[in-house]
Amino acid sequence: LESRALLSVTGMTCSACAGSVEKAVKRLPGIKEAVVDVLNNRAQVMFYPSYVNEETIRETIEDVGFEATLIM
């Protein structure tokens, strides 16, 4: 069964930023879907918790160069 993570992502100023965040998250193992909303500074990720967790997702977004906080 999958889990859902909602993160606040700040520092994205264009849709290409959102695209790079989505691409990086989707490269992780155990990701079902990642949707990044640049206008609302949100990332929603569906993932399989046997393979990946919220903190790994958050750190991956930070590695791309944006500040990420887990909302829920």
What is the binding site for ligand 9UX (CB under 6 A)?
13-14, 16-17
- If the CB atoms of residues 21 and 52 are measured against ligand 9UX, the closer one turns out to be 21
Closest residue to ligand 9UX: CB criterion = 17
> Which residues pair with residue 34 across a beta bridge?
45
- If the CB atoms of residues 16 and 70 are measured against ligand 9UX, the closer one turns out to be 16
- If the CB atoms of residues 14 and 72 are measured against ligand 9UX, the closer one turns out to be 14
